[in-house]
Structure 1
């Protein structure tokens, strides 16, 4: 079944490029376009869609304001935020207000399409560059669910790395903190993901916060 999308972006050339990328997937269709959040709200009253793909910085009504209004009027609407700014504060605000994902426009086309599909089935997508920094803020009210001694067998070094991931550190920062090479850090993270049956760094950051590692 084709999924219907409204694309909200103020720069026409960027909007056309995004439309071409998204519609490479035959299951996705751009059924409406808007140049700001105000226009998007007007269109949502007229057109039935499954997802809003929206820029952050736009005239009249930006993506942050639009996210609030859309979620107030259409509580179940899924929203994927796109921006050229990998700023966790933008991400935090839109996710707090009900967006389902945050992705920078420089991402690979395949990642954009995969992110759209993930959001459509109820997933949350967060740009990897800012994901770990956001998790403690988004989940700081979540109580630890698993004592460290009951976690799958991880070395003390791996627990240290998991803690640093959960605190929002990059591989380079972790390597410098623990006096390791970046390659060694990457290998440890790969092993941790396999041991915990997690998909990626974002899930690892969430796991670290929820289980009291951070």
Structure 2
């Protein structure tokens, strides 16, 4: 039977070593590489073409969310499982949008982790049970927001997110951190927002958004 090839991406050497030992004990799994940051995760994923990547979220440089987007855009067949200590819903939704197939916490049992890896390699999805109710609550909230702001000035959902934070006074670095995107991406969104709203800068954009009730402070 063909083994499931796994790439481990985590900036903590101890965690990588522990995962390697656990997974290499499994007859159906083969660890093909280890990455200590997001950039290396992308590089090794494209080089080794694993079936599954175990992806930590918070890593230096390119974080796990950006790394996942990059991998999925170039190799959509690779399954990505977010393995993290965080059970906050904002991580979950950004990861789902980036293309992950699984979201598990680092206190997961070895047996369940192995089952999740094998399942994801077969095209299945898995979300940790503690996040399920939060996921549905947030999807309902987003659906409600979408109905209120559909096609507001022609902005996309992401552009609207950026505009909302601009109106609240966030700078580009803060926006990038909250939305798990790069500052360059924030600047590109702002350029599009200014064009669609017919304004010249972020101050005018914020004033326009508040006056037209596109956002609520």
How high is the TM-score relative to the length of structure 2? Answer: 0.61
Question: Shift of the alpha carbon at 1:23?
Answer: 1.8
- How far did 1:124 drift? 1.0
Deviations 1:72-110 (A, max 9, x none): 111221100100111121111111211001000011111
Gaps spanning 5+ residues in structure 2: where?
144-217
Supply the distance in 2 between the matched residues of 1:46 and 1:66 (Cα, whole angstroms): 14
Distance 1:51 1:112 in 2: 12
Matched with 1:126 is 127
Per residue, is there more helix in 1 or in 2?
Answer: 2
Query: Deviation of residue 111 (structure 1)?
Result: 1.1
- What TM-score results when the alignment is normalised by the length of structure 1? 0.62
Q: 1:118-197 residue pairs with structure 2 within 5 A? A: 118-138=119-139
Are the aligned partners of 2:46 and 2:75 in contact in 1 as well (CA < 8 Å)? Answer: no
Aligned residues between the structures: 141
Q: Identify the residue that residue 43 of structure 1 maps to in structure 2.
A: 44
The reply on whether 1:68 has 2:69 as its aligned counterpart is: yes
**1:59 counterpart = 2:64:** no
Q: Deviations over 1:3-61 (max 9, x none)?
A: 11111011000110011112221110101110011001111232121111111111011
Question: How far, CA to CA, are the matches of 1:108 and 1:77 in structure 2?
Answer: 23
Deviation at 1:136, TM superposition (A): 4.5
Cα RMSD (Å) of the superposition? 1.5
Please tell me whether the aligned partners of residues 58 and 64 of structure 2 are also in contact (alpha carbons under 8 angstroms): yes
Query: What CA distance in whole angstroms lies between the structure 1 residues aligned with 2:109 and 2:47?
Result: 32
Q: Do the aligned partners of residues 38 and 103 (structure 1) sit closer, same or farther apart at CA in structure 2, a change above 3 Å counting?
A: same
> CA–CA distance in 1 between the matches of 2:88 and 2:24?
27
Preserved contact between residue 4 and residue 118 of structure 2 (Cα < 8 Å): no
Q: Distance in 2 between matches of 1:81 and 1:73?
A: 18
| Bigger RCO (CA 8 Å, 6+ sep) | 1
Match of 1:15 in 2: 16
Q: What is the CA distance between 1:68 and its match in structure 2?
A: 1.0
Equivalent position of 2:167 in the other structure: none
| Partners of 2:138 and 2:21 in 1: CA distance | 35
Distance in 2 (alpha carbons) for counterparts of 1:35 and 1:118: 25
- Return 5+ residue gaps in structure 1 as ranges: 142-214
How far did 1:138 drift? 4.5
